[in-house]
């Protein structure tokens, strides 16, 4: 309960789309308040003792279904919760928060919520079962000894273990297969004994919990302006491009010289050439998956989970070295652009240097 004199101001973890099963349309509404997760279920399956016909929740769900509220391309969307950007503390506590399950029901024509202690516990971070990952010879670190400092990207966190700052990436329902692929690729890169021109973060260990392996650890790269995509956005905005954060606040002033952009372009190309010599595919190649080290100013290639962002790699080339090369050409084109402020002082033109 909130303390007297305070507002009810819940923090929403994720608002998940409705979940389908073979015959029933249901909705889970999830938010966090006072360090607890509230998972509120709307289901047409009435609990014994409550209205089963013409219930308010069934009418609400029917309207959502009629309006195509959920994505009908998928048979089911599972609930996934994770560490939040503003949270810090023991990884175990943040991964497995206290969850209160409620169900919205109708009794004598009135809507109410009842506590459901009989619902199965959600496995927010299912264990990795890939045989190759389980056979990798690397140190295992239990979530109980890992302290989260802050979130870096979705499912990726800056953590500290025994005084050392490391980067952790956790498995989630939606990334379960891709994280196995990423671990296997990083291990292959690590054991290939590439030269120093391959700038890919070092795989440092696997994360274990009471359920099994739930993620991995890699070397932490202190980043300049978050990632290359954001750094270029900031630099263009500094020169006059009409670009802001989603909340309307201005992007931080940033200067990126031609020499630095040429260096990053060369380093990304060198890394890809070496990886392709061993038939290792980057996959989700794009500027957002390039980190600029704020100490050395080097460009590091990250995220080998096999995703594909529209506009970078054609669908038919995804997962191939040809797809990587297509994305590389587009990355190099962005880095080679000659940024010019328009004559009106507001528009922003980019021409590619010959």
Q: Is the pLDDT of residue 223 over 50?
A: yes
Q: What are 318's two structure tokens?
A: 């995804």
pLDDT of residue 79: 37
Same domain? For 215 and 233 the reply is no
Residues 6+ apart with CB under 8 A from 53: none
DSSP annotation string for 223-238: BSSSSHHHHHHHHHHH
Residue 275 placed within a domain: yes
Same domain, 169 and 76: no
**331 and 246: one domain?**
yes
The pLDDT mean for the chain works out to 83
Where in the sequence is the domain holding 55, given as residue range(s)?
Answer: 19-115
Taking the complete model, does pTM exceed 0.95, yes or no? no
Both 70 and 157 in one domain: the answer is: no
Q: Is 140 helix (H, G, I), strand (E, B) or coil?
A: strand
Residue 261 lies in a domain: yes
What is the total count of domains within the chain? 3
Q: What is the pLDDT of residue 338?
A: 78
* Residue 23 pLDDT level (bands cut at 50, 70, 90): low
Q: Which of 30-44, 93-107, 122-136, 335-349 has the lowest mean pLDDT?
A: 335-349
**Residue 141 lies inside a defined structural domain of this protein:** yes
Q: Are 161 and 107 in contact (CB under 8 A)?
A: no
Query: Do residue 36 and residue 61 come from a single domain?
Result: yes
Please report whether residue 7 resides in a domain: no
Name which of 19-28, 207-216, 304-313, 330-339 the model is least confident about. 19-28
Check residue 95 and give its pLDDT. Answer: 83
Find the CATH number of the domain harbouring 299: 1.10.510.10
Contact, 166 vs 220, CB < 8 A? Answer: yes
In a domain, 2, yes or no: no
How far is CA 123 from each of CA 7, 21, 79, 115, 233, rounded to the nearest angstrom? 31, 18, 9, 19, 38
| CATH number (domain holding residue 187) | 3.30.200.20
pLDDT confidence of residue 24? 61
What length is written for the chain?
354
Do 233 and 344 share a domain, yes or no? Answer: yes
- The reply to whether 316 and 270 lie within a common domain is yes
pLDDT digits (tens, 9 = 90+) for 49-108: 888 888 888 888 888 777 755 544 333 333 344 444 346 788 988 888 888 899 999 999
Inside any domain, residue 5: no
- Distance in angstroms (rounded) separating the CA atoms of residues 200 and 197: 9
Of 61, 90, 115, which marks where a domain is finished? 115
Taking residues 218-231, report their average pLDDT.
Answer: 92
Does the structure show a pLDDT above 70 at 14? no
Where is the domain boundary, 186, 219, 252?
Answer: 219
Does one domain contain both 37 and 76? yes
Residue where the block lists tokens 């994360």: 207
Residue 42 pLDDT more than 90? no
> Are 311 and 213 contained in the same domain?
no
Q: Residues 297-313: what's their mean pLDDT? A: 92
Euclidean distance between CA atoms 175 and 286, whole angstroms: 18
- Please state, in angstroms and as integers, the Cα–Cα distance from residue 138 to each residue in 24, 180, 214, 274, following that order: 44, 14, 14, 24
80 and 138 within one domain: no
Question: Is the pLDDT score of 295 beyond 60?
Answer: yes
Taking the C-alpha atoms of residue 277 and residue 273, their distance in angstroms, rounded to an integer, is: 6
Please write down the long-range contacts of 339-345, taking CB distance under 8 Å and 24 or more positions apart: 339/235, 339/236, 339/239, 339/241, 341/239, 341/240, 342/240, 345/240
Say whether both 168 and 108 belong to one domain: no
Q: Tens digits of per-residue pLDDT, 180-213?
A: 999 999 999 999 989 888 999 999 999 999 989 9
Phi–psi pair at 300, nearest 5 degrees = -110, 135
In a domain, 274, yes or no: yes
Listed residues 219, 247, 262: the one ending a domain: 219
Domain match, 332 and 232 both: yes
Residue 333: what are its φ and ψ, rounded to 5°? -65, -45
Percent above pLDDT 70 for the chain: 81
Which is nearest to 284 in space by CA: 330, 239, 238? Answer: 330
User: For residue 327, how many C-alpha atoms fall within 13 Å in the half-sphere facing its CB?
Assistant: 30
pLDDT of residue 44: 84
pLDDT digits (tens, 9 = 90+) for 135-170: 999 999 999 999 999 988 878 999 999 999 999 999
Strands 140-142 and 203-209: parallel
Residue 247, domain member (yes or no)? yes
pLDDT digits (tens, 9 = 90+) for 264-292: 999 999 999 999 999 999 999 999 999 99
């Amino acid at each position: 309960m909130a303390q007297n004199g305070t507002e009810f101001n819940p923090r929403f973890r994720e608002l998940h789309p409705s979940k389908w099963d073979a015959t029933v349309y249901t909705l889970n509404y999830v938010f966090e308040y006072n360090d607890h997760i509230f998972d509120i279920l709307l289901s047409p399956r009435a609990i014994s003792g409550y209205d089963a016909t013409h219930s308010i929740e069934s009418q609400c769900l029917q309207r959502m279904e009629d309006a195509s509220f959920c994505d009908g391309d998928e048979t089911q969307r599972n609930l996934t919760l994770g560490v939040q950007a503003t949270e810090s503390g023991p990884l175990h506590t943040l991964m497995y928060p206290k969850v209160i399950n409620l169900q919205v029901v109708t009794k004598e024509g009135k809507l109410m919520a009842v506590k459901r202690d009989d619902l199965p516990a959600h496995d927010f971070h299912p264990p990795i079962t890939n045989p190759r990952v389980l056979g990798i010879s690397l140190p295992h670190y239990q979530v109980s000894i890992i302290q989260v400092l802050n979130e870096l990207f979705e499912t990726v966190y800056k953590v500290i273990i025994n005084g050392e700052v490391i980067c952790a990436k956790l498995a989630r329902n939606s990334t379960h297969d891709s994280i196995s692929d990423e671990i296997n690729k990083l291990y292959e890169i690590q054991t290939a004994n590439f030269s120093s021109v391959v700038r890919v973060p070092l795989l440092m260990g696997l994360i274990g919990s009471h359920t099994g392996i739930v993620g991995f650890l890699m070397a932490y790269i202190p980043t300049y302006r978050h990632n290359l995509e954001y750094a270029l956005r900031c630099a263009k905005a500094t020169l006059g491009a009409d670009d802001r954060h989603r909340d309307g606040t201005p992007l931080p002033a940033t200067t990126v010289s031609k020499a630095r952009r040429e260096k990053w372009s060369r380093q990304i190309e060198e890394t890809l050439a070496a990886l392709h010599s061993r038939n290792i595919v980057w996959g989700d190649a794009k500027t957002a998956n390039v980190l600029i080290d704020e100490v050395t100013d080097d460009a590091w290639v990250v995220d080998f989970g096999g995703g594909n962002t529209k506009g970078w790699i054609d669908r038919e080339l995804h997962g191939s070295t040809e797809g990587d090369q297509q994305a590389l050409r587009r990355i190099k084109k962005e880095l080679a652009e000659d940024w010019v402020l328009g004559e009106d002082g507001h528009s922003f033109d980019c021409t590619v240097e010959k």
